[in-house]
Amino acid sequence: MGDESIVGKQRLQKILSAHGVASRREAERLIQDGRVFVNDSIAVLGQSALCGVDRITVDGVPLACKEQFVYIMMNKPRGYLTTMTDDRGRSTVMELLQDINIRVYPIGRLDLNTEGLLLFTNDGEFANSVAHPSFNKTKTYQVRVRGNASEAVQLLTKPIEVDGRMVRAVKAELISESAKGGVLEITINEGRNRQIRKMCTQTGVAVLKLKRISIGELKLGTLETGKWRYLTTKEVKAFGK
């Protein structure tokens, strides 16, 4: 994946053009002439930067960057709280974003022992479009359970009372089954506190492992546990941006 497809980082000539320094072609000449620096190092043609995070200067004059929105996806590991800080000293997902020099915050929440797809941004409008139920962004989870997995699949798509509200899965599939349990894929269009765990309990199965694998059209894919990456422009646009 090239840097041009990453939301956040952009080619230097594009940044300079967007901020009125020069046309893209003229900006290329500025870079080739050694007049552009990024973080006190001379820039090279084809280099990308994150405006507002990286320090960009032209002829020694710092570029006054416009507000820069950042969009990130992480494969959250178990054992990390989805919060900015914790007064009890427990590990938080923010510790896994130490290489980010711009303040972002997690969208929604995965509980301590839930892993998988978690989004971060500093764009409030984007966060709302992902998290608010009115935007109808489905969330799919892979769930390893103990108990009658076949029966649970049948019950999950029927109304279930959770915390005084009737909820139901948009879709539930049996991926595999054994004598002791099985693996399910459950899709919901809400995201209430521990909703999947509570729904499973109501169907008579116990959750052994819970992992979110998609939000809307965005899939976790092969992103390694504990790692993160920027969303591409196409991925962000799929959320209506």
Q: Which residues are catalytic?
A: 111
- Quick one: angle between helices 195-202 and 149-156, nearest 10? 110
In contact, 64 and 81? CB cutoff 8 Å:
no
In contact, 177 and 149? CB cutoff 8 Å:
yes
3-class secondary-structure state, position 51? strand
How far, in Å, CA of 210 to CA of 217, rounded?
19
**Cβ contacts of 125 within 8 Å, gap of 6 or more:** 241
With b for 16 or more beta-carbon neighbours within 10 A and e for fewer, the 187-201 pattern comes to: bbbebeebbbbbbbb
In contact, 76 and 35? CB cutoff 8 Å:
no
In contact, 110 and 78? CB cutoff 8 Å:
no
In contact, 200 and 209? CB cutoff 8 Å:
no
